[in-house]
Structures are given as structure tokens and as C-alpha cells.
Amino acid sequence: MAKIKVGFGFDVHQLKQDHPFVLGGVKLEHTSGAYGHSDADVMLHAICDALLGAANLRDIGYHFSNKDDRWKGISSLILLQHVVALLAEKNWKIGNIDAMVCLEAPKINPHIPAMQANIAEAAGIDVEDISIKATTNEQLGFIGREEGVVAYAVCLIARAS
């Protein structure tokens, strides 16, 4: 039996007025955007954590500290490429990625194909192996008040043959 592992990732970012909103490597038109040290792409951060966790390689903060200016304002697609390289060094390949974003606005459904294409290219996997979903928080809590955005991700990795 081939060795397989499952990973889980979570991330949250504050939303700030008149700040760019990048999600899945796509810049979304909105009045506010996720704020953070890098481009604050909450979905890609959750995906990176899921992959790192599955491979037992710690977490995104360990590899890309928000105290390190090398990562200031960087595209999270580049962070994902680094994570995929770390997995390859340990002889892991990605089976699939399933991500969920929780936000009130903007609607991301029209952007999902572009997000899948960005992730597929950065991760070196097929678009068909990437699932992206979104939900609202039914106007409850900090997500409902549009003060923040949350993302969850799970992934499957397998030993490369």
C-alpha cells in the first residue's frame, strides 16, 4: 500500500477598507481586503498549512515568518511554490486539495476557475484536483460584520513513486 497522509489548514485575516483583496492568487474587486505581512491570501495560507501539516513540516509561520522582510508583500502563490518544493524534497506529491472560504462578500464563484488555474500552476497539479468552495457566516460574528475572512483546507499527499 502506498503511503498517504491527510493535512488540515486554517487561516484568518482582518479585512481593511481600501486594501487589495487577493484570494487564490486573484485580485478581487471589493471595498476592503485581507491585511497581512504577505499579500494576505487567506485561502493559499490555509492550503500551505494543510500541505505542511500532512508532511509533518511544521506550519507556514515557521517557514515564512512575518518578521522576515523577504516575505513582505509577496504573492502567496510563491509561498505555495516553496511549500511544494519542501514536500518534493521529502518525496511527497499532492493528491488533491479541498479549500473552503468563509466571507460575506464579495462573491467568489465567478473567480473559482481562475483560482484553480493559479493553484494548479503553482502546485504542479491538475485543476481537477483542486476544489474551492465558499460560504457566508449568515451575518454572524466578525465574518458577518465583514471585519475578517477565514479559510480552511484539507489535502491528500502520497509518497512519490
Print pLDDT tens along the chain (161 aa).
Answer: 579 999 999 999 999 999 999 999 999 999 999 999 999 999 999 999 999 999 999 999 999 988 888 899 899 999 999 999 999 999 999 999 999 999 999 999 999 999 999 999 999 999 999 999 999 999 999 999 999 999 999 999 999 77
* Residue 55 DSSP one-character state: T
Binding residues: 11-13, 37-38, 45, 59-61, 64-68, 135-138, 142, 145
Helix (H) or strand (E) holding 154: strand 148-159
Structural domains in the chain, sorted by start: 4-159 (3.30.1330.50)
Q: Could you give the CA distance from residue 145 to residue 141 in angstroms, rounded to a whole number?
A: 6
Which pTM does this prediction carry? 0.96
Known binding residues for a divalent metal cation are: 11, 13, 45
Question: Strand 26-28 to strand 92-102: parallel, antiparallel, or no bridges (unpaired)?
Answer: unpaired
For residues 143 and 137, the answer to whether their CB atoms sit within 8 Å is yes
CB of 38 closer than 8 Å to CB of 71 = yes
- What gap in Å lies between CA 32 and CA 82, rounded to an integer? 28
The three-point CA angle 102-155-111 to 5° equals 45
Q: How far is Cα 92 from Cα 27, in angstroms, rounded to an integer?
A: 30
- Give the phi and the psi of residue 152 in degrees, each rounded to 5: -125, 150
